[in-house]
Amino acid sequence: MPNSLAFLMITSWPLVTLIMYLRMPPRTAVIWSILAGYLLLPAGMVLDLPGLPGLSKHSIPALFGYLYVTLLLGRRVRIMPESKAGRILVVMLLLSPFLTVLTNGDPIFINSSKVLPGLRPYDGASMLVGQVGFLLIWALGREFLRDGAAVRQLISALVIAWLWYSLPMLYEVRMSPQLHIMIYGFFQHDFAQMMRQGGFRPIVFLEHGLWIAMLTSMSALLCVVLGREAGPGLSRRYYMAAAYLVVVLVLCKSVAALLYVLLLMPAMIFLSGRRLGQIAMFMGVLILSYPIVRTLDIVPTEALIEMAGRVSEERAQSLKFRFDNEDALLAHAMERPLAGWGGWERSSIHDVTTGETVSTTDGLWVIAMGYSGFIGFIAQFGLLCLPIFLLSGAYRTAGREISVLMGGTAVVLAVNLIDLLPNATISPITWLITGGMLGYLEQLRHGVPEGEGAPQPAPAAPRGPRPYAGLVGQGRIGPRSLL
């Protein structure tokens, strides 16, 4: 059960977010309110208030950040993107809950003692509210991270945050995942799943060890991107940071996350921005086509299980368990392929004798398919992949070559999205990167954003006392800046 500190942190974060927006430039406040909230607030805890949607570490920074931007700054944050494809995807995302309700008004009789209720309009509104938090993060990213300097600030913030976050991670590798229990009074997941290869995998304040491994691999790859963009004096530091994070990633004991880094690190070091964009686009095609490929049973699941068995029998059994559950859940989802089954465990598989749920959902794609069908899957994953597919066209319209910064960021985003096939490692950081990239590409179509190239030298600081100094970079007069 959460302790008083957990409740204090959740309830005080709106105030923390307000202070950030009052004391920082807007784009810095957007980045750090969302990033710090996700990394520091308790996981698996939802604050239910009468008449309001459940508030958690995912929704509080976005919801209150949106309110502060609108009410205090008078800034209109648009939900609809500029591209026609983006508008269609947003409309699909907003309408999919109500289409699911319209096609699931019937109750499901599991046995004589268990009946799953039909969906009502209230359920559609509840499903929509659950999507608003991520959509607001995406919209804030589009509005405030619309140039190359802002995108660089975002990925630099993630790298800096992760270098600091690696310290409690290393503590948990040595001492076992105890920080969430010690600080917030409860463990956010199954402790047995944090035990691997005779040791422990860290989790700190995130949902699972897989999440922390995924973000570690993304941060290591982003270090290389920043190293290629930096000058000769700084590039070595970024490469050393990347090597350090790879060592931390090995200690996270996640084969998939480590494999992404080993396969893509050479490309991130040597390939041009255009080639990196092509790799990201290829990965995006794989992501969007995966449900069709799995439905047609084209994926060589047996061969993949055999390859995993060469690493360890435990990995092979885990992968076979995932594929078996995917097959069963996908067959169930295909009974209502257009809009899915909705909530109340309707998308799960139940034992007809006991009425208990016997299926386990790991991949976000199969969760989306069962919950909201092809409409929901295409809306969510299409919106996440949209900047990857718009990257080449936006640069071609501007008459420029794709930069390493944007090509590398697109690959890192694609890596995160690829991992949503076996896992559900989506986070506010995923939506923030997607929104920031999309906003940048929209600006690129209208002209050349400033600050895309190598970092510009900081202006000379004025003489006299400096009441505030940034944690990174030159000190300056004015609001405190983390970057």
Q: How far apart are CA 86 and CA 24, in angstroms?
A: 30
Q: Which of 50-54, 150-154, 476-480 has the lowest mean pLDDT?
A: 476-480
- Tokens 């599991």 sit at which residue? 110
Most confident of 87-96, 232-241, 354-363: 87-96
> Residue 50 has what pLDDT?
66
Sequence-distant (6+) residues with CB within 8 A of 65 are: 17, 21, 29, 30, 33, 34, 136, 140
Q: Is the pLDDT of residue 311 over 80?
A: no
- Tokens 């994926």 sit at which residue? 299
> Residue 479 has what pLDDT?
38
Hey, what are 122's tokens? 């209230």
The secondary element (H helix, E strand) that includes residue 196 is strand 195-196
Hey, what are 253's tokens? 């004991």
Q: How far apart are CA 163 and CA 237, in angstroms?
A: 12
The secondary element (H helix, E strand) that includes residue 195 is strand 195-196
Quote the strand ranges of 321-465, DSSP E: none
Is there a contact between 409 and 440 (Cβ–Cβ < 8 Å)? Answer: no
- Quick one: average pLDDT of 269-288? 96
> Residue 51 has what pLDDT?
59
Q: How far apart are CA 472 and CA 116, in angstroms?
A: 54
- 454-471 b/e with 16+ CB inside 10 Å = b? ebeeeeeeeeeeeeeebe
Q: Is the pLDDT of residue 313 over 80?
A: no
Q: Is the pLDDT of residue 296 over 90?
A: no
- Quick one: average pLDDT of 451-471? 40
Quote the strand ranges of 37-133, DSSP E: 108-111, 114-116
Q: Which of 93-102, 137-146, 459-468, 470-479 has the lowest mean pLDDT?
A: 470-479
Q: How far apart are CA 222 and CA 249, in angstroms?
A: 14
- Quick one: average pLDDT of 85-97? 94
Q: Is the pLDDT of residue 68 over 90?
A: yes
**Per-residue pLDDT reduced to its tens digit, 23-51:** 999 999 999 999 999 999 999 888 877 65
Q: Is the pLDDT of residue 319 over 90?
A: no
Delimit the domains of the chain by residue range. 1-76, 84-446
> Residue 448 has what pLDDT?
56
Q: Is the pLDDT of residue 281 over 60?
A: yes
**How distant, in Å, are the alpha carbons of 73, 152, 421, 423 from that of 373?**
39, 36, 15, 18
- Quick one: average pLDDT of 321-340? 90
- 332-357 b/e with 16+ CB inside 10 Å = b? bbeebeebbbbbebbbbbbeeeeeee
Q: Is the pLDDT of residue 446 over 90?
A: no
- Quick one: average pLDDT of 70-84? 89
- Quick one: average pLDDT of 304-319? 78
Report which of 347, 343, 371, 368 is spatially closest to residue 359, judged by C-alpha positions: 347
Q: Is the pLDDT of residue 305 over 60?
A: yes
- Mean pLDDT (the chain, rounded): 87
Report which of 53, 189, 215 is spatially closest to residue 129, judged by C-alpha positions: 53
The secondary element (H helix, E strand) that includes residue 200 is strand 199-200
Q: How far apart are CA 281 and CA 141, in angstroms?
A: 21
Q: Is the pLDDT of residue 462 over 70?
A: no
Q: pLDDT over 70 for what percent of the chain?
A: 92
**Per-residue pLDDT reduced to its tens digit, 142-196:** 999 988 899 999 999 999 999 999 999 999 999 999 999 999 999 888 888 788 7
Q: Is the pLDDT of residue 472 over 50?
A: no
